[in-house]
Structure 1
């Protein structure tokens, strides 16, 4: 099976990914409608795994549905809800269903979500999950026992936060994820591009693994202030909030700001990861305003 996302990385293309949430229920129609609008515009579509600890359809099942429509998924997998047996079982199942791209995540705290009485697992965290994927790719399970029914060939990635307050901690985690086998990195929401520049030159300079800058579509000044208040480590500049507040059409101003940020990221790193919660239909417009050509399908 051809992995076009992996191929684009090998070809040193400027990478475009976007994020879609699975449904909260059994009907994937809206998710598929949104994902179809990304076809031909992005190299991969991230399917979240109960993001913010809010219940959604299985990321493996939702990713497999996308694949049926010729849309290449990046299946997110967190350690919060599964022990090592369940993680390995889901990874084997994902591979059998044709999924190849996995974003290995630790997972948000249960307290952030809608099942606050649920018990978190966290037997592993993202670095150890990456190491486990590497073992499975090598033909061995978590206990170093051979896989009798063939090894996997998954393409693992990891998250990175260039705006982390702890520079030494950021460097340590990044290097550990590299050593554990991460083949690409998608960043958290970027608002400080000077900080991203510093990260690229001081921490990521010695790796050829692509870094995709997280670009978030701000829909209004109220939306921006909410993020500043509720998302740790994010500080949207007052200049951007003012632009949104004074705009006649705040959403269109948000699209313009996102396009400008895509252009900024082009000068600094190898790709962008677009987060446009519930407005995936605006991704093509953001990319057009940024001057990003459609992705050539092979």
Structure 2
């Protein structure tokens, strides 16, 4: 196995560099396998090389166990694709969180998205014990300490600091705008350098969020764009994803389409164009159809990197 800082694996955050240069940022999401074979995940990640600044690796999303994001992100890095390791507080205390963050640094994983984590009751192991010693804001503070070369107790790290580019999640469609602003302020104060949003359907609300909250904070927001595969898929999301309401007109458009999947690509591309007018980036989610992300970007006029 090549050591992570060899030429085959990037260790400097290209996402950080692109953000500092004011580029329009593009990330995409890939789920780790539910098992020990990473081959499908790696195929999906490699197909995105040169089209996205980094690939997000989820952390047992919706509290359903999958391969460790540390292992999955390390494999993606070794394949020559920059990763964003999502890290949830749900399953780890501060000892385990520090261990995974130091491990990420050792494997050359440059980016971390700090998450509180979906509640255990949403998943398929409902009898599991939820940890949640920290939450996203305190996790961001912990990353900042490790970046400064100290542990959670402010004691020096004898083997040197880490260098991680920390980000946070945001929901611009949150109904309580003042609460949303306070939460974003706290995350930036704790060290968040970028935000990735949940699936966005209300672009008027997004514009208000950008103007009133995001722009004053000065941190890039990557808008969540989801590839809808069919009207049935859209209705499922409306039923089971809290806070998301895909418009009836979009569902009708998918239902009438001769090829619903390609109509979904067209809708996603239109949303990328809208996002480009408002924000500094997009975060693309195309579950089990990641190979279509380059087509979405092409249709939206986003050139290869």
Shared fold per TM-score greater than 0.5 = yes
Q: For 2:22, which of 2, 9, 12 is the aligned residue?
A: 12
What is the CA-CA distance between 1:204 and the residue it aligns to? 1.4
TM-score of the superposed pair, with normalisation by structure 1 = 0.98
Aligned to 1:277: 287
Unpaired segments of 5 or more residues in structure 2? 1-10
Partner of residue 5, structure 2: none
Give the 5 Å matches for 1:120-131. Answer: 120-131=130-141
1:67-104 per-position Cα deviation (integer Å, ceiling 9, x unaligned): 11110000000000000000001100110111110000
Is 1:97 the counterpart of 2:135? The answer is no
Q: Alpha carbon RMSD of aligned pairs, Å?
A: 0.7
1:290 aligns with 2:273: no
* 2:166 equivalent among 156, 171, 195: 156
**Alignment-derived partner of residue 242 in structure 2:** 232
Work out the CA distance in 1 between the residues paired with 2:296 and 2:268.
7
Give, in whole Å, the separation in 2 of the partners of 1:208 and 1:169: 19
Question: 1:38-77, aligned counterparts within 5 Å?
Answer: 38-77=48-87
Is 1:205 matched with 2:209? no
Residue 214 of structure 1 aligns with which residue?
Answer: 224
Q: How far apart are residue 207 of structure 1 and its match?
A: 2.3
For structure 1, list consecutive stretches of 5 or more residues without a partner in the other structure: none
Runs of 4+ in 1 over 4 A off after TM superposition: none
Deviation at 1:16, TM superposition (A): 0.5
Alpha-carbon deviation of 1:2?
2.5
- SS of aligned partner of 2:51: coil
Shift of 1:143: 1.3
Q: Deviations over 1:194-216 (max 9, x none)?
A: 00000000111212210000000
Kept in 1: contact 2:214–2:220 (CA 8 A): no
**Residues 121-200 of structure 1: pairs in structure 2 closer than 5 A:** 121-200=131-210
Aligned counterpart, 1:247: 257
Q: Secondary structure at the match of 1:267?
A: helix
Q: Does 1:36 align with 2:46?
A: yes
TM-score, normalising length: structure 2: 0.96
In structure 1, what is the Cα distance between the partners aligned to 2:19 and 2:216? 17
